[in-house]
Amino acid sequence: MTAGRDRFTAVALEHLAQAVAADELGVERRRVAARVRDQGGSLAVRVASPLAMPPLTIEPETPLTVRLGEAGGSIRARLAALTGLAVVQVDIRATGAVLTERRVR
């Protein structure tokens, strides 16, 4: 047996990036758009997604900018661990909010 190389198609990488980002941002995968491109032999990922947020009457524990930065780092680390590829950049664009809790009347 000889050692081989795993090859991932761009579509497979984008679906994986969608799933990882959806999990990290707390939304359904179908609501996340992800683009993966080669950047000098490494991966660069662009994500557009709504974010899971508490209702506006509840103040969030973490500012949005901090949360997006942390999510980008987590997505980068998880994609690198899952694929074995270097992920050099993750850009996240918040497209809206998904309320995580509803008030009961």
pLDDT of residue 21: 97
CB of 60 closer than 8 Å to CB of 99: no
Q: Where are the domains of the chain?
A: 10-97
- Rounded to two decimals, the pTM is 0.84
Q: What is the rounded CA–CA span in Å between residue 94 and residue 22?
A: 12
- Token representation of residue 15: 């679906």
- Mean pLDDT value of segment 71-80: 97
Mean pLDDT of the chain: 89
- Mean pLDDT value of segment 74-88: 96
Which fold would CATH assign to domain 10-97?
A: GMP Synthetase; Chain A, domain 3 (3.30.300)
**What band does 5 get if pLDDT is binned at 50, 70 and 90?**
low
